[in-house]
Amino acid sequence: MHFVSSLKTWITPDFNVNMLCRGGAMSRTILYEKLKALTDKSPGEFITIIRMRKAADFLLKGEQVQEVAIKIGLSDANYFSTAFKNTTALRPHSLKSRHHLTKYPHNRI
């Protein structure tokens, strides 16, 4: 999904649904309907999944959990760890080796 790959590059810590609407040149309602039809996710859930994929990339490069949390827009490392586990079914610390990447659910969307 090229769209998802390009989203990872422009999602900043303050990125939100309104910014996604502007980037996609559509209203919140249309964005919700399209994302729900394509991914079965709401725009907020979709953004969270993309943030967690971006976080996984940082973690695989060896960055610390607290640093990664801040880079993706979450100031609380505990909340980040919980959100990461809920999204990927893995704890952030378990992504220390590349073989875990095959378990990372990139194809959930």
Give the distance, in angstroms, between the CA of residue 30 and the centroid of all CA atoms in the same chain: 21
CA distance 24 to 21: 5
Residue range 59-70: mean pLDDT, rounded: 91
> What contacts 55, CB < 8 A, 6 or more positions away?
68, 69, 71, 72, 80, 84, 92
109: pLDDT strictly greater than 50? no
Chain segment 5-62, per-residue pLDDT in tens = 666 676 778 888 988 888 888 899 999 999 899 889 999 898 899 899 999 999 988 8
